[in-house]
Amino acid sequence: MAQRKMTVTVTVDGVRYEEEVEPRLLLVHLLRDRLGKTGTPIGCDTGNCGACTVMLDGRSAKSCSVLAVQADGSEILTVEGLASGDEWHPLQRAFHEEHALQCGYCTPGMIMASLDLLQVNPDPDDTEIREGLEGNLCRCTGYANIVRAVRRAAAESREVSGA
């Protein structure tokens, strides 16, 4: 039950935090309940939905499946840290342009998973996008526009890096 506390140090969206936590605290609860990073939501308790996806030291991770103490020393990027000021990330713009969200509950996770996907494969075809996002569930959109958005963001990012 009440457990011995441990200290974790994490950098989230560029800000360093030091927190005393119970070893059982999930990273997603650290983010949401302790650090006020509520941009990352929770959709399940079995690691299936991907709503909680963040970048953990440069790779996507389901923050409900990681203990806060396991993230000690890590660098975390959430959807809240993607834009620079009012300038949205290409994925945020593409999700907006392609109407790839309705209720938006899956969107933070979907965007973070797409970020990882494009990092590994900058030019995915539709099947690769669909398979790459298999761990992120959306109940609203039927995914067609999400696939379009990822394709669009990929094209835009390639243009930028090619220029």
Partner 1 sequence: MTELIERPAPEIGKARRRREDARLVTGRTRWTDNIQLPGMLHVAFLRSPMAHARILRVDVSAARELPGVVAAFTGADLGPEQGSLPCAWPVSEDVVIPAHPPVAVEEVRYVGEAVACVVATDRYRAADALEAIEVDYEPLDPVLDMEAALAPGSPGVRAGQSNKAFTWVFSQGEVDAAFAGAPVLIERTYVQQRLIPSAMEPRAVVCDRLGEDYTLHSATQIPHILRVMLALTTGIPEHRLRVIAPDVGGGFGSKLQVTAEEVVCLLLAKRLNRPVKWTESRSEGNLTVHHGRDQLQRISLAAESDGRIRGLKVDLLADMGAYLMLVTPGVPLLGAFMFPGIYKMAAYDFRCTGVFTTKMPTDAYRGAGRPEATFAIERVMDELAHELGIDPLEVRRRNWIEREEFPYTSVAGLVYDSGDYGAATDRATELLGYAALRAEQAERRARRDPVQLGIGISTYTEMCGLAPSRVLGSLAYGAGGWEHASVRMLPTGKVEVVTGSSPHGQGHETAWSQIVADTLGVPFEDVTVLHGDTAISPRGLDTYGSRSLTVGGIALLQACGRVREKAKSVAAHLLEADPGDVDFENGLFRVRGTDAVRSIQEIALAVFTAHNLPDGFEPRLDADATFDPENFSFPHGTHLCAVEVDTETGMSRIRSYVAVDDVGNVVNPLIVEGQVHGGIAQGIGQALFEEARYDEEGNLLTSTLADYLIPSAADLPDFVTERTQTPATSNPLGVKGVGEAGTIASTPAVVNAIVDALRPYGVHDVRMPCTPERVWRALEESR
**The binder of partner 1 chosen from 5, 59, 99, 158 (CB under 8 A):** 99
62 binds, among ligand FES, partner 1, none (CB under 5 to 8 A by kind): ligand FES
158 near 71, Cβ under 8 Å?
no
- How far apart, in whole angstroms, are the C-alpha atoms of residue 37 and residue 35? 5
154 binds, among ligand FES, partner 1, none (CB under 5 to 8 A by kind): none
Look-up of token digits 């309940």:
33
Binding of residue 101 to ligand FES (CB under 6 A): yes
Binding of residue 5 to partner 1 (CB under 8 A): no
89 near 112, Cβ under 8 Å?
no
**The binder of partner 1 chosen from 48, 151, 155, 156 (CB under 8 A):** 48
- C-alpha separations of 129 from 1, 38, 147 in Å: 42, 27, 6
Based on CB atoms, which residue is closest to ligand FES, 101 or 118?
101
- DSSP letter at 136 equals S
Q: What are phi and psi of 26, to 5 degrees?
A: -75, 150
Pick the closest to residue 13 from 91, 74, 87 (CA basis).
74
In the complex, the residues that contact partner 1 under the rule CB under 8 A are 1-2, 22, 24-25, 29, 32-33, 36-46, 48-49, 51, 78-80, 82-83, 88, 92, 95-97, 99, 101-108, 111, 126, 129-131, 133-147
In the complex, the residues that contact ligand FES under the rule CB under 6 A are 42-44, 47-52, 62, 64, 101-107, 138-141
